Amino acid sequence: MRVLVLNNAAPFIRGGAEELADQLVARLNAISGVEAELLRIPLRSEPAEGLIEQILLNQSLRLYQVDRVVALKFPAYLIPHPNKVLWLLHQFRQAYDLYEAGNSYLCEHPSGARIVQLVRNADRKCFLKCRAIYTNSPVTQRRLLKFNGISSTVLYPPLLDPERFRGGQYGSYVFAGGRVGAGKRQHLLVEAMRMVKSDIRLVVAGPLDDDEYGRKLRGVIDQYGLSSRVELKFGFHGRDEIARLVNGALACVYIPIDEDSMGYVTMEAFCAAKAVLTVKDAGGVLELVRDGATGMVAEPDPNSIAIGLDRLADLSAAREMGLAARALLEGKSLSWKYTIERLLDD
């Protein structure tokens, strides 16, 4: 079976969607009887009038000798094909939720309303012809239903490199990975360490959103003499280094503010059989973390977080919840095997 993965591409820019597309192609090619390739169509979303051309050009391209198309993004998914499966990462948000919220560049544009209509019409026509429609998260799913009246099935993107997160010793530290910034609330963790009674340590590692936040965290550590208990590793870390920190941790912590997704940080921890401490208003993370079963769900305040961390300091509890976390992840169908089976379903 020849599977062509379609994605758009802003020249010279790479992000999560590009990583996902590459990984999908690689995983497809690993299946015997499947040959996969990636087709990237250059996207230029400005000026706004150009969107009309973008739609037209994608509709005018032709694909031959392709058995199945897996399309990820606008406007590449408009390329006609009789056997197209959509795995929608997000719509062209400027014409949907951002437009409704008054945050789109199309709001100010004299022809904005007509361009929005054009995008939505082209989308609808395309969606109705798709063989199946999957979305990457409940948020994308809700938007698709709300704006296009199209129902879809959520198919979460699996970890790109689960092979790295095989787990290991349950060490003496809890690990907080991911970006470091006010939206991720690492300051609550550092403050919680003042109240933790057990002798666990906290390791924070990730790129800083802004230097000011970094100074704030260091300030708290200095003020309360926490330097032996909290380690800050700001900056970009390679995947192997991140995996090493996760695999050797007692448990992991992740307390973002109302996040859309479950978060790769949570999935990495679960994959490595580590329990995750989170908080009640963390959003999508709560789809995975169940209090006392696969981790701890605390109130978003240092005191409550400290109590949760102390419970995780009990090695057998941490291990038991970690193993349950891994089992939950597997049951949640977050594997590439499951994902690809869905995308290639008849």
Partner 1 sequence: MKIVIASSFVPFVHGGGRFIVDWLELKLREHGHQVERFFLPFIDRPEDLFDQILAFRLIDVSSACDRLIAIRPPAHVLPHPNKVLWFIHHIRSLYDLWDSPYRFVPDNPSGRAFRSALIDLDTRTILEAQRVFTNSQVVATRLQHFNGIAAKPLYPPILAPERFRHDRYGEEIVVICRIEPHKRQSLLVEAMRYVKTPVKLRLCGTSMGSVHLDEIAATIAKYGMQSKVIFENRWISEEEKVERLAPALAVAYLPQDEDSYGYCSLEAGHAQKCVLTTNDSGGVLELVKDGVNGLIVPPDPLALAEAMDQLFVDRALTARMGEANRRRITEMAIDWTTVVDSLTS
Q: In this complex, which beta carbon is closest to partner 1, that of residue 68 or of residue 184?
A: 68
HSE of 256 in the Cβ direction (CA atoms, 13 Å)?
17
* Minimum CB distance to partner 1, residue 287 (Å): 36
Site string for partner 1, 24-63 (x = CB under 8 A): -----------x-x-xxxx-x-----x--xx-xxx-xxxx
Taking CB under 8 A as the criterion, the residue among 64, 110, 223, 238 binding partner 1 is: 64
Whether omega before 47 lies within 30 degrees of 0, making that bond cis, reads yes
CA distances (Å), 266 to each of 5, 80, 176, 333, 340, in order? 27, 37, 10, 15, 22
- Is position 1 an interface residue for partner 1 (rule: CB under 8 A)? no
Q: In this complex, which beta carbon is closest to partner 1, that of residue 9 or of residue 276?
A: 9
* Minimum CB distance to partner 1, residue 155 (Å): 23
Q: In this complex, which beta carbon is closest to partner 1, that of residue 42 or of residue 82?
A: 42
DSSP count for the chain of H helices, then E strands: 12, 12
| Piece of 10-18, 98-106, 185-193, 273-281 that binds partner 1 (CB under 8 A) | 10-18
* Minimum CB distance to partner 1, residue 57 (Å): 4
Please tell me the distance from the alpha carbon of residue 291 to that of residue 324, in angstroms, as a whole number: 12
Q: Which helix (H) or strand (E) is 37 found in, with range?
A: strand 35-42
Q: In this complex, which beta carbon is closest to partner 1, that of residue 46 or of residue 211?
A: 46
- Is position 8 an interface residue for partner 1 (rule: CB under 8 A)? no
* Minimum CB distance to partner 1, residue 191 (Å): 44
- Is position 4 an interface residue for partner 1 (rule: CB under 8 A)? yes
* Minimum CB distance to partner 1, residue 28 (Å): 12
Q: In this complex, which beta carbon is closest to partner 1, that of residue 1 or of residue 182?
A: 1
Q: Which of positions 69-108 make contact with partner 1 (CB under 8 A)?
A: 79
Q: In this complex, which beta carbon is closest to partner 1, that of residue 61 or of residue 293?
A: 61
Please name the residue that has the structure tokens 């991911």.
Answer: 178
Please tell me the distance from the alpha carbon of residue 272 to that of residue 236, in angstroms, as a whole number: 21
Coil vs helix vs strand at 89: strand
Q: In this complex, which beta carbon is closest to partner 1, that of residue 42 or of residue 292?
A: 42
Please tell me the distance from the alpha carbon of residue 15 to that of residue 26, in angstroms, as a whole number: 17
Please tell me the distance from the alpha carbon of residue 124 to that of residue 311, in angstroms, as a whole number: 50
Q: In this complex, which beta carbon is closest to partner 1, that of residue 63 or of residue 154?
A: 63
Rounded to the nearest 5°, which phi and psi values hold at 231? -115, 125
DSSP 313: T
- CA-based nearest residue to 184, from 221, 214, 228: 214
Coil vs helix vs strand at 8: strand
DSSP 283: B
* Minimum CB distance to partner 1, residue 238 (Å): 21
Question: Interface with partner 1 by CB under 8 A: which residues?
Answer: 2, 4, 9-12, 35, 37, 39-42, 44, 50, 53-54, 56-58, 60-66, 79
